[in-house]
A and B are shown apart, each in its own frame.
Chain A
């Protein structure tokens, strides 16, 4: 019964999406005056009810997983009655169908939210926006209902479920996909706003102000999702790396790059009424990247930990959706771009100029990542199998990232419209000197490669430069949005230092140890004290007990495990970490080398944690900016309400 309720809700939601599309489109066509026209009145309620129905369907799926209803195919395929409850629930989106349902749920919830609260834009633009949102949602409902129905029943209920991939049985799974999806799909709102503004020819600063909080929200979730995903891969895979340029990682990085560019160009549009067409274009590109990412992950065309099932039919379906939406949006853009009048002018040396450079370079990085990700697909079509990894991505993206970081140091110091470099010369000189000092210190400490060295120097300089906009300002009067920018830029510098430091100063030790033996890595001495079996709820493990002492200090205990899951049967390595202020010790227990020795792999990674602290700072900056924008909007609304009330009083 639960499954049927969920399925019915899903069909109803799809019907409402169709209504939203048709009513919105007709309302825009009729050019009805604000609030009039009966069809126009349907659009917002349709979006809200659609969101509620979809959330209901998703709740039903979670319920099915929580009680392990084995008559439902999806549950039988992906769950197991003996799994801990939190992983049963998280398992609802740890598979293809469930994750697509989550995708659509987030998307319709976002549509419901804009229908409920967004009142700044002309009603006609809103109707076009909601019609576009309904159009996109409709395609994904079709995908769910026709090729990936999560509520399908089995003819005969299964006796026991297949279980969930043990790599995914981690608390990270409970939060990682929903966070990323909120980001991915939040960008659909930017896409719909862009299409709505294009269709009704209202690309204005107001449009940018209305769109910005949504982009900002999506961007915050993407940032958190990428940061968390990176840390998860770091400790769960046991390979000691934090970014593998895996296609699925790239699939989340590409929308982030586009959203970052969009965020900055929307700021120019909101503040200065320039970069109109460019902002619209980025709105389309950002969501296209989300869909490309979904296509890459969901079609199973690329293998990775994230590709649950290979199914060419589904891949073709998403590819068609992709072609319709991106092609359609680009066609509308091509038809209407010439009608967007030119925005305000500005000089190259100005805040706008710096933001344009940032935008162009971000787009270039996006292009590099996109080409590298798709290249294996292109060559495979010609019968050559290749894989593309760090030897390509690291230098090719750095070529554009390094100049971008340079401009990022100077940009926030410049004035809008026009400025002179001499005016900001002395603060930049300070940042440059710090960067130089960083260069000297780093090369004296070790002899890192060129890229890590440049990264360390730039990171140090950027950390200083990002704080300079605060100079001479009253901190209590500082707008929250400005503070957010400073924090986010500082976070970039912190993350950059972490990345560069990890590749410059990491030390690795691989050894076969007898119980009682000691291995040294960096300043650490690690003694293997025991190897003993332990048992968990659905796994057994061998656990190594290691005493690690930093520079001869008090030893800490590390307990890395080699786990064997029995449903489905699989082995995983659980790394053990010890975090200090200046870095992390990373330990992995391997196999028995021979009768009495155990393979042990150890890393000392100085300042590696800065990568994720930096990522969180970037997200925090986004949160501050979002709070500032929303608070400002609420204040404006309150003032307008008061003004209206006073006018009514006067009139009465």
Chain B
């Protein structure tokens, strides 16, 4: 439809429909491709140990903060801790202000990426906020594994 208004009415409608469909299909293709490469998958420690997500890829790690594992580095803002699910343990490093309910023996979801050396670098930590706002994965996990975790954390 590059000529100035020289199209028949029927053709113009067709051209509009085709243009719209092409753009939407392009959007769908780009979206699907980008989703496959950019969506961040959720892992619990045993899965992350087994599957080894590619280093540098954005993933989420959910589990329990092990008792006695939180160590603050000398700079005062970087912490190291261990996230476990009863079968596997993943060391995590995080720089920043931790959420209010981030404590040992409690659940956490860390967003970040694995490093080649097996340490998880977290960009953001989500802890249980209140009874109304719990990261979804965390809620399911605590329901399924609460007993195990309670046993594990009280045995020490």
B13, CB-defined interface residue at 8 Å = yes
The contact of B96 among A165, A375, A396, A510, by CB within 8 Å, is A510
User: Given A303-B136, A375-B39, A348 and B2 touching (CB < 8 A)?
Assistant: yes
B97, CB-defined interface residue at 8 Å = yes
Q: Looking at the complex, which of A111-119, A178-186, A314-322, A564-572 is the stretch in contact with chain B?
A: A564-572
Q: How far is the CA of A305 from the CA of B32 in the complex (A)?
A: 27
In the complex, which residues of chain B have a beta carbon less than 8 angstroms from the beta carbon of A379? Answer: 39
Closest B residue to A513 by beta carbon equals: B76
Q: Looking at the complex, which of A123-131, A288-296, A591-599, A621-629 is the stretch in contact with chain B?
A: A591-599
Whether A386 and B40, one on each chain, are in contact in the complex, defined by CB atoms closer than 8 angstroms, is: yes
The contact of B42 among A371, A386, A569, by CB within 8 Å, is A386
Q: How far is the CA of A601 from the CA of B98 in the complex (A)?
A: 11
Closest B residue to A389 by beta carbon equals: B40
Whether B4 and A345, one on each chain, are in contact in the complex, defined by CB atoms closer than 8 angstroms, is: no
Encode contact with A along B24-45: 1 for CB under 8 Å, 0 otherwise.
Answer: 1011101110110011111000
Distance (Å) between the CB of B76 and the closest chain A CB?
A: 2
Whether A371 and B31, one on each chain, are in contact in the complex, defined by CB atoms closer than 8 angstroms, is: yes
In the complex, which residues of chain B have a beta carbon less than 8 angstroms from the beta carbon of A523? Answer: none
Whether B39 and A364, one on each chain, are in contact in the complex, defined by CB atoms closer than 8 angstroms, is: no
Whether A363 and B24, one on each chain, are in contact in the complex, defined by CB atoms closer than 8 angstroms, is: yes
Most buried by B among A307, A309, A593: A593
Whether B97 and A417, one on each chain, are in contact in the complex, defined by CB atoms closer than 8 angstroms, is: no
Whether A418 and B24, one on each chain, are in contact in the complex, defined by CB atoms closer than 8 angstroms, is: no
Whether A348 and B1, one on each chain, are in contact in the complex, defined by CB atoms closer than 8 angstroms, is: yes
Whether A356 and B130, one on each chain, are in contact in the complex, defined by CB atoms closer than 8 angstroms, is: no
Closest B residue to A570 by beta carbon equals: B130
Whether A392 and B35, one on each chain, are in contact in the complex, defined by CB atoms closer than 8 angstroms, is: yes
A512, CB-defined interface residue at 8 Å = yes
In the complex, which residues of chain B have a beta carbon less than 8 angstroms from the beta carbon of A572? Answer: 100
The contact of A593 among B34, B76, B111, by CB within 8 Å, is B76
Encode contact with A along B2-26: 1 for CB under 8 Å, 0 otherwise.
Answer: 1111010110110010011001101
Whether B34 and A392, one on each chain, are in contact in the complex, defined by CB atoms closer than 8 angstroms, is: yes
* Residues in A371-391 with C-beta less than 8 Å from chain B: 371-372, 375-376, 379, 384-389, 391
In the complex, which residues of chain B have a beta carbon less than 8 angstroms from the beta carbon of A562? Answer: 100
Whether B133 and A165, one on each chain, are in contact in the complex, defined by CB atoms closer than 8 angstroms, is: yes
Whether A396 and B30, one on each chain, are in contact in the complex, defined by CB atoms closer than 8 angstroms, is: yes
Whether B60 and A387, one on each chain, are in contact in the complex, defined by CB atoms closer than 8 angstroms, is: yes
Q: How far is the CA of A130 from the CA of B130 in the complex (A)?
A: 43
Distance (Å) between the CB of B23 and the closest chain A CB?
A: 4
Whether B95 and A372, one on each chain, are in contact in the complex, defined by CB atoms closer than 8 angstroms, is: no
Whether B98 and A591, one on each chain, are in contact in the complex, defined by CB atoms closer than 8 angstroms, is: yes
B121, CB-defined interface residue at 8 Å = no
In the complex, which residues of chain B have a beta carbon less than 8 angstroms from the beta carbon of A342? Answer: 9-10, 12-13
* Residues in A314-372 with C-beta less than 8 Å from chain B: 342, 345-349, 356, 360-361, 363-365, 367-368, 371-372
Encode contact with A along B59-78: 1 for CB under 8 Å, 0 otherwise.
Answer: 01000000000001001110
Mostly helix, strand, loop or mixed at chain B's interface? mixed
Using a Cβ cutoff of 8 Å, how many contacts connect chains A and B?
A: 149
Distance (Å) between the CB of B136 and the closest chain A CB?
A: 5
Distance (Å) between the CB of A386 and the closest chain B CB?
A: 4
In the complex, which residues of chain A have a beta carbon less than 8 angstroms from the beta carbon of B42? Answer: 385-387
B154, CB-defined interface residue at 8 Å = no
B134, CB-defined interface residue at 8 Å = yes
Whether B97 and A418, one on each chain, are in contact in the complex, defined by CB atoms closer than 8 angstroms, is: no
In this complex, the interface size class of chain A, counting residues with CB under 8 Å from chain B, is 35 or more
B104, CB-defined interface residue at 8 Å = no
The contact of B12 among A345, A372, A392, A512, by CB within 8 Å, is A345
Whether A392 and B39, one on each chain, are in contact in the complex, defined by CB atoms closer than 8 angstroms, is: yes
Mostly helix, strand, loop or mixed at chain A's interface? mixed
User: Given A345-B5, A512-B77, A385 and B41 touching (CB < 8 A)?
Assistant: yes
Whether B76 and A511, one on each chain, are in contact in the complex, defined by CB atoms closer than 8 angstroms, is: yes
The contact of B77 among A275, A385, A510, by CB within 8 Å, is A510
Distance (Å) between the CB of B81 and the closest chain A CB?
A: 14
A308, CB-defined interface residue at 8 Å = yes
Whether B75 and A512, one on each chain, are in contact in the complex, defined by CB atoms closer than 8 angstroms, is: yes
Distance (Å) between the CB of A161 and the closest chain B CB?
A: 14
The contact of A371 among B7, B28, B129, by CB within 8 Å, is B28
Whether A356 and B77, one on each chain, are in contact in the complex, defined by CB atoms closer than 8 angstroms, is: no
Whether A165 and B130, one on each chain, are in contact in the complex, defined by CB atoms closer than 8 angstroms, is: yes
Whether B76 and A597, one on each chain, are in contact in the complex, defined by CB atoms closer than 8 angstroms, is: yes
A643, CB-defined interface residue at 8 Å = no
The contact of A364 among B23, B40, B101, by CB within 8 Å, is B23
The contact of B100 among A346, A395, A418, A570, by CB within 8 Å, is A570
In the complex, which residues of chain A have a beta carbon less than 8 angstroms from the beta carbon of B58? Answer: 389, 391
In the complex, which residues of chain A have a beta carbon less than 8 angstroms from the beta carbon of B95? Answer: 510
A400, CB-defined interface residue at 8 Å = yes
B87, CB-defined interface residue at 8 Å = no
Whether B30 and A399, one on each chain, are in contact in the complex, defined by CB atoms closer than 8 angstroms, is: yes
Whether A372 and B35, one on each chain, are in contact in the complex, defined by CB atoms closer than 8 angstroms, is: yes
B137, CB-defined interface residue at 8 Å = yes
A588, CB-defined interface residue at 8 Å = yes
Encode contact with B along A236-269: 1 for CB under 8 Å, 0 otherwise.
Answer: 0011000000000000000000000000000000
In the complex, which residues of chain B have a beta carbon less than 8 angstroms from the beta carbon of A363? Answer: 20, 23-24, 27
Distance (Å) between the CB of A314 and the closest chain B CB?
A: 15
Closest A residue to B2 by beta carbon equals: A348
User: Given A356-B16, A360-B19, A367-B24, A303 and B135 touching (CB < 8 A)?
Assistant: yes
Whether A371 and B12, one on each chain, are in contact in the complex, defined by CB atoms closer than 8 angstroms, is: no
The contact of B1 among A278, A347, A510, A593, by CB within 8 Å, is A347
Distance (Å) between the CB of B6 and the closest chain A CB?
A: 8
Q: How far is the CA of A568 from the CA of B100 in the complex (A)?
A: 14
Whether A303 and B133, one on each chain, are in contact in the complex, defined by CB atoms closer than 8 angstroms, is: yes
Q: How far is the CA of A215 from the CA of B41 in the complex (A)?
A: 39
Whether B72 and A375, one on each chain, are in contact in the complex, defined by CB atoms closer than 8 angstroms, is: no
The contact of A165 among B3, B13, B132, by CB within 8 Å, is B132
A590, CB-defined interface residue at 8 Å = yes
User: Given A360-B19, A363-B23, A418-B5, A368 and B97 touching (CB < 8 A)?
Assistant: no
Closest A residue to B62 by beta carbon equals: A385
User: Given A356-B19, A371-B28, A568-B131, A599 and B77 touching (CB < 8 A)?
Assistant: yes
> Could you write out 14 A-B pairs with CB less than 8 Å apart?
A165-B132, A277-B13, A345-B9, A349-B4, A360-B24, A363-B24, A367-B28, A372-B31, A389-B40, A392-B38, A399-B30, A588-B97, A590-B77, A591-B97
Q: A388-B38, A392-B38, A601-B97 are known; give 19 further A-B pairs, CB within 8 A.
A: A277-B13, A342-B13, A345-B9, A356-B19, A368-B31, A376-B39, A384-B41, A386-B39, A387-B60, A388-B39, A391-B38, A392-B35, A396-B31, A510-B95, A568-B131, A569-B130, A573-B100, A590-B98, A597-B76
Q: Which residues of B contact A (CB under 8 A)?
A: 1-5, 7, 9-10, 12-13, 16, 19-20, 23-24, 26-28, 30-32, 34-35, 38-42, 58, 60, 72, 75-77, 95-98, 100-101, 111, 124, 129-137
